[in-house]
């Protein structure tokens, strides 16, 4: 096996050097963390589902003119991406109150917000990713005003597109997190969508039953997390019935053999 240089290991993904300069390989792990990695576990087959789901969404976003780091999927757990300078900001878009918004402001989970909210968090595990304001971003130079305008515009376009895409398969897009990166083209910086879009960083509720079909199943110990990720992939038409069961079977067999 060819050994590749590992560039970075995060909580859910590993980045390896890519085949050409300016590219990386993004590997999706089954590892799951919550509450700033105080809770750790694995979700069988999650990496495979997230790789497919993120490919599907990034490809569709490219189709509506949102620039992304995604180049192509390589195999079950890996995709080729453009190397970017990650902007150290987590961009959270909210349509319905849930999670930290409900907790912080005492708004009942499930309350439809009168307008979409964009929030920014400073990406720093040691600080627990604190909520920040535009003023902090400008003051500390994490992104320019022009870049922040592009980021907010793209976040709204992604939200509009994804809200429709999920509504079409009976799912309510409650909220989600995006990350952006900077690429240099002819000495000019340009912002593109990076990281991933998957049930790890979205809240997705079944429209009829309100059942949670995302990482909250893991965060809140609800059980059935692998099945929830699989259900999202299935509804998006990404898995044939046999494919889905073989992903889960494969992981079950691997575990039985102690690997």
Question: Which CB, 103 or 255, lies closer to ligand TMP?
Answer: 103
Which residues in 176-235 contact ligand ASP (CB under 6 A)? 215, 219
- Rounded to 5°, the CA angle 23-28-30 comes to 165
> Which residue among 30, 31, 55, 175 contacts ligand TMP (CB under 6 A)?
175
Asked if 99 touches ligand TMP (CB under 6 A), the answer is yes
Asked if 100 touches ligand TMP (CB under 6 A), the answer is yes
Residue 99: Cβ-neighbour burial (10 angstroms; 0-12, 13-18, 19+): middle
Q: Which does 219 bind (CB under 5 to 8 A by kind): ligand TMP, ligand ASP, none?
A: ligand ASP
Per DSSP, helices labelled H in the chain are 46-63, 99-105, 134-140, 145-167, 216-219, 225-235, 241-256
| Residue 86 CB contacts under 8 Å (≥ 6 apart), including other chains | 123, 179, 180, 181, 194, 195
Q: Which does 175 bind (CB under 5 to 8 A by kind): ligand ASP, ligand TMP, none?
A: ligand TMP
**Stretch touching ligand ASP by CB under 6 A, among 32-40, 55-63, 103-111, 226-234:** 32-40
Asked if 92 touches ligand TMP (CB under 6 A), the answer is yes
Nearest to 43 by CA among 255, 258, 234, 235: 255
Question: Which CB, 6 or 36, lies closer to ligand ASP?
Answer: 36
CB of 228 to ligand TMP, least distance (A): 14
Nearest to 169 by CA among 73, 72, 53, 247: 53
The Cβ-side half-sphere exposure at 133, using a 13 Å CA radius, reads 2
What is the rounded CA–CA span in Å between residue 175 and residue 121? 14
> Which residue among 6, 36, 149, 210 contacts ligand ASP (CB under 6 A)?
36
Are 131 and 121 in contact, with CB atoms under 8 Å apart? Answer: yes
Are 100 and 174 in contact, with CB atoms under 8 Å apart? Answer: no
Q: Which does 33 bind (CB under 5 to 8 A by kind): ligand TMP, ligand ASP, none?
A: ligand ASP
CB of 139 to ligand ASP, least distance (A): 25
Asked if 88 touches ligand TMP (CB under 6 A), the answer is no
Residues near ligand TMP (CB under 6 A) are 92, 98-101, 129, 175-177, 201-203
């Amino acid at each position: 096996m060819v050994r590749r240089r590992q560039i970075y290991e995060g909580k859910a993904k590993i980045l390896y050097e890519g085949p050409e300069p300016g590219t990386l390989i993004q590997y999706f792990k089954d590892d799951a963390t919550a509450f700033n990695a105080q809770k750790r576990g694995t979700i069988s087959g999650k990496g495979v589902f997230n790789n497919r789901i993120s490919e599907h969404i990034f490809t569709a976003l490219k189709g509506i003119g949102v620039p992304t780091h995604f180049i192509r999927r390589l195999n079950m757990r890996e995709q080729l991406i453009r190397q970017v300078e990650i902007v150290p900001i987590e961009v959270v878009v909210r349509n319905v109150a849930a999670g930290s918004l409900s907790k912080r402001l005492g708004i009942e989970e499930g309350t439809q917000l009168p307008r979409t909210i964009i929030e920014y968090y400073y990406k720093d595990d040691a600080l627990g990713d604190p909520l920040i304001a535009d003023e902090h971003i400008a003051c500390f130079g994490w992104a320019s005003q022009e870049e922040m305008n592009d980021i907010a515009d793209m976040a709204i376009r992604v939200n509009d597109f994804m809200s429709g895409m999920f509504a079409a398969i009976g799912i309510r897009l409650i909220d989600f997190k995006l990350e952006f990166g900077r690429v240099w083209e002819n000495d000019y910086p340009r912002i593109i969508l990076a990281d991933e879009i998957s049930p790890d960083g979205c809240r997705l509720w079944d429209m009829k039953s309100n059942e949670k079909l995302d990482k909250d199943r893991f965060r809140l110990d609800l059980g059935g997390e692998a099945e929830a990720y699989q259900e999202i992939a299935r509804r998006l038409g990404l898995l044939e019935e046999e494919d889905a069961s073989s992903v889960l079977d494969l992981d079950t067999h691997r575990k039985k053999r102690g690997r």
